[in-house]
């Protein structure tokens, strides 16, 4: 794959996940909508990794803060904290010991607030890809 094709793959996959996140939220499946929101950002960070690392294959990492670092993205403290918080959505949906507590936390209001933040980060990351 060329670098452009590689980046396009990650961006298009992220856009598909963004639509899925919105559909899950609209269906009241808040915990999984936030899990997918994590994937939206992970895939954009992998596109940036490809862009900023001479078309290398992104590592099989899920930690958004670490992906941002190795993708050579400058993060202010607020973005770093937000990415770290969104990391929890990946872990807490996957593992039984966290899943029930996370499910209780995921009210409509909680999900809406975090989805809005994910969408803001989505736009910010996409602006770095162009």
What the chain holds in terms of domains, given with CATH numbers, is: 3-129 (1.20.120.330)
- pLDDT at 94 > cutoff 90: no
For the chain, what percentages of helix, strand and coil (3-state, to nearest 5) are there?
80, 0, 20
Residues of the chain with pLDDT > 70: what percent?
A: 97
This prediction's pTM: 0.94
The per-residue pLDDT for range 19-66, each reduced to its tens digit, is 999 999 999 999 999 999 999 999 999 999 999 999 899 999 999 999
Q: Taking 90 as the threshold, does the pLDDT of residue 115 lie above it?
A: yes
CB 7 within 8 A of CB 55: no
């Amino acid at each position: 794959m060329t670098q452009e094709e590689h980046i396009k793959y990650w961006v298009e996959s992220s856009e598909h996940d963004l639509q899925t996140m919105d559909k899950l939220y609209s269906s009241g499946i808040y915990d999984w909508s936030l899990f997918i929101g994590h994937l939206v950002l992970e895939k954009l960070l992998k596109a940036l990794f490809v862009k900023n690392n001479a078309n290398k294959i992104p590592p099989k990492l899920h930690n958004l803060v670490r992906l941002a670092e190795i993708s050579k993205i400058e993060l202010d403290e607020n973005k770093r904290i937000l990415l770290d918080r969104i990391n929890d959505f990946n872990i807490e949906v996957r593992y039984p010991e966290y899943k029930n507590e996370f499910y209780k936390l995921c009210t409509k209001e909680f999900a809406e607030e975090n989805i809005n933040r994910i969408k803001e980060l989505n736009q910010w990351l996409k602006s770095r890809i162009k």
